[in-house]
Amino acid sequence: MLRKVREYIWEEKLLEPGKKVLLGVSGGPDSMALLHIMHKLTTEMDLGLAVLHLNHGLRPEAAAEEEFVREHCRNWGIDFYSRQADIRALALQEKKTLEEAGRDCRYRYFFEQLEELQADYIATAHHQDDQAETVLLHLLRGSGLKGLRGIMPRKGQLLRPLLALSKAEIIHYLDENQIPYCLDQSNNDLKFLRNRIRCELIPYLQKAYNPRIMESLNQLAGIARDENDYLEKQLHFSWDKLLLWQEPGVIVLDKKALGEEHPALQKRLILEALARLRGESGWELKDVQRILRLLDQSGSSKYIQLKQGLRVSSVYQELHFTNRPLREGSFCYPISVPGRLSIPETGESYIIELGQPVTFQPGLSSCLDYDKLKQPLVLRSRQPGDRFQPSGMKGSKKVKDYFIDIKLPLEQRDRVPLLTSGETVYAIVGYRVSRLAEVDAESCRILIIRKENT
């Protein structure tokens, strides 16, 4: 058993010599086995150990269990830390199930201690039976490759060295070494989905379909972990090629490059964009499929409104993901020179080209010294706090105040595109150019932005 865990630690590269590891020990069979096995590995792996125990205060035996673990650590000469929590109150307060509140509180405590004790890792006692349950749980809820990975042997500073062992092996180890442990009856409470999987579904599957189902599910988890990792690496490699523009609330991808990727990567890339704007969870395959259909559509702009206020629009060669509210009509598009930009939010289009300065017509066009501009360039609507340095003036001015000065009607102000790069405003297109971008005697390349006749 010891050999299996040692090999697993080595194969999964979980631990290096000289590290300090905190063990989460409830006093149950799994964590008592973890404690004993890790204690035996201490010398050969040159580890520093300490034990963490969160007293959930849910069951009458809680105090006795804490004392049991403390006593055990004292005998073995291992540092022991514990905290008392009122999980029932927390669950009510944070609107979680007891199970969720307990887990969240436990990990919060573990990671606080990780920092306070300046330790390197936390190890928990998850094993192969837990792994099989987790894989099934994800399968039943609906999952892709990611969910099938189940419990990770290593997730940041969190380690699960006992994933090398089955529950039966752990019990055998405890018996053989006469290690005492506490039994938590709430693990058999069938109102928890996970317990139902453990106590009902798995035994049924073992009996009626495959006695080695645990092994199969663990193997699947391993394959899924490997292959998902590979796909994520490929995803990030492609992401860097596809991403044209990113700023808070906006992601712009290269439509053609996305279209050239393999369908499997296309879907992952789209999910990545959605996740960066609105988190990983809650997206369905059908959301991704709707977005994919945008790829085939050419010509003028198309939109999709998704949940959580997220919009995706196809704008010529680009796919724009944004979670900025539509009611404000704000927009933000990278430009290409020469090019043509259609702004769906205002219904107006702009021609962008290098050429001879054109006669100034208010509201219609702007000419700038192209060589004075920093890339990348963006046409966007004004934002609170925008300032610029109007040509022919000293100092800077709020864009808002400029609009007030020229008496532009309020409802038109959000429709006027600003030419910007980062925080710098180069032009209020059709109205005023910044001193920083002014055409002068030495200008070589003149950038002209003009509104298309509609």
**Contacts to a second copy by CB under 8 A:** 139-145, 193, 196-197, 200-201, 204-205, 208-210, 212-213, 215-217, 219-220, 222-224, 226-227, 229-231, 233-234, 262-265, 267, 285
247 C-beta neighbours (distance < 10 Å), count: 12
Smallest separation, CB 160 to a second copy (Å): 18
Of the pair 204, 360, the CB lying nearest a second copy is at 204
Q: Which of 123, 126, 132 is nearest to 222 (CA)?
A: 132
Classify residue 18 as exposed, middle or buried by CB count within 10 Å of its CB (0-12, 13-18, 19+): exposed
For a second copy, the closer CB: 231 or 364: 231
Q: Would the annotation count 29 as a binding residue?
A: yes
Q: How far is the CB of 4 from a second copy (least distance, A)?
A: 13
Question: Binding site annotation covers 339?
Answer: no
d(CA 151, CA 12): 13
24 is an annotated ligand-binding site residue: no
Quickly count: other Cβ atoms within 10 Å of residue 158's Cβ.
19
CB 242 within 8 A of CB 251: no
Whether 336 has a binding-site annotation, put simply, is: no
Do 316 and 300 contact (CB within 8 A), yes or no? no
Residue 221: other Cβ atoms inside 10 A:
24
Burial classification of residue 325, based on how many CB atoms lie within 10 Å of its CB (0-12 exposed, 13-18 middle, 19 or more buried): exposed
Q: Is 381 annotated as a binding residue?
A: no
In terms of CB distance, is 289 or 308 closer to a second copy?
289
Query: Which residue, 34 or 265, has its beta carbon nearer to a second copy?
Result: 265
Query: With respect to a second copy, which residue has the nearer C-beta, 135 or 319?
Result: 135
Q: Which is nearer to a second copy, 233 or 307 (CB)?
A: 233
CB 27 to a second copy: min, Å? 30
Nearer to a second copy, 143 or 349 (CB): 143
Q: Which residues are 123's β-sheet partners?
A: 23, 159
Query: Smallest distance from the beta carbon of 144 to a second copy, in angstroms?
Result: 5
In the complex, minimum distance from the CB of residue 287 to a second copy, in angstroms, rounded to a whole number:
12
Under 8 Å between Cβ of 57 and 87: yes
Q: Return the DSSP state at 25.
A: -
Minimum CB–partner distance for residue 147 and a second copy (Å):
9
| 386 belongs to an annotated ligand binding site | no
In angstroms, give the least distance from the CB of 301 to a second copy: 24
Q: Rg (Cα) of the chain, in Å, rounded? A: 30
Could you tell me where the DSSP H helices lie in 95-201? 98-116, 128-141, 145-148, 167-176, 193-196
Q: CB within 8 A of 288, min separation 6: which ones?
A: 267, 270, 271, 274
Enumerate the known binding-site residues: 26-31
Enumerate the known binding-site residues for ATP: 26-31
